[in-house]
């Protein structure tokens, strides 16, 4: 007889999505098991050893504001901290930290092991346990647990799949193909087959990684040094300051000779021979893809980034490739400073299964299988930060559902996490999804610096945050309120400091010079005050716009609503709305191909009255979607 283990929530996969999902469920009191193929790779950085960046930093700060792990781990394990886009407005700033890869992984593992109600267990999941759902409408199936290698079972009413790149994965280096989702590790097919049996669409994506070099073989004198910030900025709202010494990174470039070499070997590149047929991330292309797509460019920047303090291994950011080994050897030795470089690990591409995310609800629960939640690359995303954000939402909602409580649902106007989830479940993906500031139409209000003020109260209401985190937020709120009074009361030349701070030439330093007491205000509070005051007019306009749109946008569409009963609704609209099943009119307005006229017809069917005017396009709809260009902040 096989062993059977009982839990409230099971999380499958120990990557960045899995650890946040498991920790969130456990923080809510659910007895949780995190099942992973290898306990020593929990939180491993499979690709770039860094956290944050433009758009991604906002996600990390929001995960932290909701009680998550990622920001605390990178603050402890970071070896270089930089804020990107400082020359632009605050909505565009993107803190980024290079990590000691092994230390980061061990810090995440420690945080997981220290989490109450959470068991970390080394298991390989081979099948899902489901039973028919007998209720009318809703999912056809209900999750009951998983089967692991060795014929044991784990039973739970809520399961979160965070399988990363490991579903039926194949790695490619030139003509060579190897089964596995990461170098040195295997793959699994049972979960994909189980999902397919239950009617879940399973498709393929591709990602890749560059080679790693021995630092001992690099001529650093020929490289441009890239230092960290003089005053490193923490990611977590619980971290006062970064104490550890920072390390340098370096910059070099490719050359026309390298591009010629790549073009001469495209017939051996899996992306161009048809060996890889699936789509990869457009915003993180392979070097061979860049050479073809940007044929007019004579060079591309390469960033050489240390993998840690206790290793000489160097990650070459910007040269992701699946070219054969001999081509990689020749290519690297043509790079200035790398003429004698020794490759420690060769680059490769990996193809893997994912489930198009328009099959999920806004709680990240499967529409086909009740109690089955999904997060990370299985939803068609790319990036540690996007995975962590989804993991927290999915894990929290799994535990909240198990407890019979209302789900954690974040809107586009609330957070970058809300933008991420809404984009995934409403629009789906046709390439691996990456977060950009341009995706968030309310980005001026959704700055990384105010994530705690926006989301920690939400976390507290749901039970995700308590204790020291709430105390620190209350103290900061009090400090900001008291400082606002000082800025309003103290005048220079008859003008209040609060008014002077709106002027571009007058910053916080000038405020401190005029009123030395302000020197005691924390850097974090000072930054938020300066941004809030300077952009108060724009923020007021944005809040008013949000409120005008909120009434219609938040109107609920009944679950199981029959779009076939809506007279004159276009066939395309009927098909799209039936497939996506939007919860609200706002979400329906962002479904690809849906027009205001379509929404007006649905409203007529629901209300029995002709609407006074067409339904306005929802913010972020396909008719007014922001471009991927970087706007001014």
Q: In whole angstroms, give the CA distance from residue 171 to residue 174.
A: 10
Q: What is the 8-class DSSP label of residue 591?
A: S
Closest-CA residue to 57 (of 385, 305, 382): 385
**E-assigned strand segments in 491-551:** 491-492, 495-496
pTM: 0.89
Whether 625 contacts 592, CB under 8 Å? no
Contact 49, 196 (CB under 8 A): no
Structure tokens at 400: 């909240």
**Class for the domain spanning 212-349:** mainly beta
Q: Show Cβ contacts of residue 579 under 8 Å, excluding neighbours closer than 6 positions.
A: 358
> Is-contact 307 212, C-beta < 8 A?
yes
Query: Max Cα separation, the chain?
Result: 85
Residues 6+ apart with CB under 8 A from 74: 51, 52, 60, 97, 99, 104, 235
Query: What does the angle CA 383 – CA 349 – CA 46 come to, to the nearest 5 degrees?
Result: 40
pLDDT value for 58: 97
pLDDT tens per residue across span 502-559 = 998 999 999 999 999 999 999 999 999 999 999 898 888 888 877 777 777 778 888 8
Q: Rounded to whole angstroms, how far apart are CA atoms 359 and 579?
A: 8
SS3 120: strand
pLDDT value at residue 355:
97
Hey, do 212-349 and 553-633 end up sharing a CATH topology, with the first three levels equal?
A: no
142-169 tens-digit pLDDT: 999 999 998 899 999 999 999 999 999 9
List the end-to-end C-alpha distance of the chain, in Å, as a whole number.
Answer: 62
Model pLDDT for residues 21-74, shown as the tens digit of each residue? 999 999 999 999 999 999 999 999 999 999 999 999 999 999 999 999 999 999
Q: What is the pLDDT of residue 633?
A: 36
Query: 224, 199, 545, 171: which is closest to 355 by C-alpha?
Result: 199
Of all residues in the chain, what percent carry a pLDDT higher than 70? 95
How does pLDDT run across 204-237, given as a tens digit for each residue?
999 999 999 999 999 999 999 999 999 999 999 9
Of the candidates 407, 420, 414, 403, the residue with the CA atom closest to the CA atom of residue 365: 407
* CATH topology for the 553-633 domain: DNA polymerase; domain 1 (1.10.150)
State what percent of residues in the chain have pLDDT above 90: 75
Sign of CA dihedral 336, 174, 384, 148: negative
Task: Report pLDDT digits (tens) over 450-509.
Answer: 999 999 999 999 999 999 999 999 999 999 999 999 999 999 999 999 999 999 899 999
Q: Which backbone phi and psi does 336 adopt, to 5 degrees?
A: -55, 125
According to the model, what pLDDT value does residue 609 have?
47
Q: What fold does the segment set 4-207+352-462 form as a domain?
A: FAD/NAD(P)-binding domain (3.50.50)
Say how far residue 408 (Cα) sits from the centre of its chain: 17
User: What's the mean pLDDT when you consider all of the chain?
Assistant: 91
Residue 219 or 601, more confident: 219
Residue 220: exposed, middle, or buried by beta-carbon count in 10 A (0-12, 13-18, 19+)? middle
pLDDT at res. 596: 73
- pLDDT band, very low/low/confident/very high, at 621 (cuts 50, 70, 90): very low
pLDDT of 277 strictly over 90: no
Q: How far apart are CA 348 and CA 178, in angstroms?
A: 10
Question: Residue ranges per domain, the chain?
Answer: 4-207+352-462, 212-349, 468-534, 553-633
Residue from 290, 282, 614, 625 nearest 426 by CA: 625
Query: What's the pLDDT tens digit per position in 318-327?
Result: 999 999 999 9
Identify which has the larger pLDDT, 249 or 438: 249
């Amino acid at each position: 007889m096989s062993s059977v283990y009982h839990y409230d929530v099971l999380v499958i996969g120990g990557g960045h999505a899995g650890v946040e999902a498991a920790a969130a469920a456990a923080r809510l009191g659910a007895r949780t098991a995190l099942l992973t193929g290898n306990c020593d790779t929990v939180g491993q950085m499979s690709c770039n050893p860094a956290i944050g960046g433009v758009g991604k930093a906002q996600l990390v700060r929001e995960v932290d504001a909701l009680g998550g792990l990622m920001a605390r781990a990178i603050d402890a394990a970071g070896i270089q901290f930089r804020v990107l886009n400082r020359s632009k407005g605050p909505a565009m700033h993107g803190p980024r930290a290079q990590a000691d890869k092994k230390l980061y992984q061990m810090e995440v593992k420690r945080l997981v092991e220290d989490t109450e109600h959470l068991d970390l267990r080394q298991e390989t999941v081979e099948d899902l346990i489901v039973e028919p759902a007998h209720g009318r409408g809703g999912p056809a199936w209900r999750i009951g647990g998983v089967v692991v290698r060795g014929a044991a079972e784990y039973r739970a009413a809520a399961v979160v799949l965070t399988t990363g790149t490991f579903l039926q994965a194949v790695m490619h280096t030139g003509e060579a193909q190897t089964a596995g989702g990461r170098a040195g590790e295997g793959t699994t097919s049972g979960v994909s087959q189980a999902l397919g049996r239950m009617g879940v669409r399973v498709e393929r994506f591709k990602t890749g990684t560059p080679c790693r070099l021995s630092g001992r073989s690099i001529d650093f004198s020929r490289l441009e040094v890239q230092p960290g910030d003089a005053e490193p900025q923490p990611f977590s709202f619980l971290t006062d300051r970064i104490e550890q010494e920072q390390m340098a990174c370096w910059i070099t470039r490719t050359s026309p000779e390298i591009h010629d070499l790549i073009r001469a070997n495209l017939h051996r590149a899996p992306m161009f021979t048809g060996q890889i047929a699936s789509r990869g991330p457009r915003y993180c292309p392979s070097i061979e893809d860049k050479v073809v797509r940007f044929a007019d460019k004579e060079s591309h920047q390469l960033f050489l980034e240390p993998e840690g303090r206790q290793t000489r291994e160097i990650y070459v950011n910007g040269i992701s490739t699946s070219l054969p080994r001999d081509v990689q050897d020749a290519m690297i030795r043509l790079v200035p400073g790398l003429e004698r470089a020794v490759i420690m690990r060769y680059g490769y591409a990996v193809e893997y299964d994912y489930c198009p995310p328009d099959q999920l609800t806004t709680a990240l629960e499967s529409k086909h299988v009740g109690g089955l939640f999904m997060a990370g690359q299985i939803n068609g995303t790319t990036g540690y930060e996007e995975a962590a954000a989804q993991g927290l939402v999915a894990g929290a909602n799994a535990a909240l559902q198990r407890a019979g409580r209302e789900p954690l649902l974040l809107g586009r106007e609330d957070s970058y996490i809300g933008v991420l989830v809404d984009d995934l479940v409403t629009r789906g993906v046709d390439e691996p999804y990456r977060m950009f500031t341009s995706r968030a139409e309310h980005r001026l209000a959704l700055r990384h610096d105010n994530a705690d003020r926006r989301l920690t109260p939400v976390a507290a209401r749901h039970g995700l945050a308590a204790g020291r985190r709430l105390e620190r937020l209350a103290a900061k709120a009090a400090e900001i309120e008291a400082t606002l009074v000082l800025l309003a009361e103290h005048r220079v030349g008859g003008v209040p400091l609060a008014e002077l701070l709106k002027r571009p030439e007058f910053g916080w330093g000038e405020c401190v010079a005029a009123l030395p007491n302000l020197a005691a205000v924390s850097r974090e509070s000072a930054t938020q005050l300066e941004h809030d005051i300077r952009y108060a007019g724009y923020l007021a306009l944005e809040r008013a716009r949000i409120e005008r749109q909120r009434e219609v946008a938040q109107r609920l569409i009944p679950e199981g609503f029959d779009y076939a009963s809506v007279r004159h609704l276009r066939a395309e609209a009927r098909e799209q709305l039936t497939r996506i099943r939007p919860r609200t009119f706002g979400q329906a307005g962002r479904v690809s191909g849906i027009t205001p006229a379509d929404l007006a017809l649905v409203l007529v069917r629901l209300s029995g009255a002709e609407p006074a005017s067409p339904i306005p396009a929802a913010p972020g709809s396909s008719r007014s979607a922001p471009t991927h260009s970087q706007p001014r902040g």
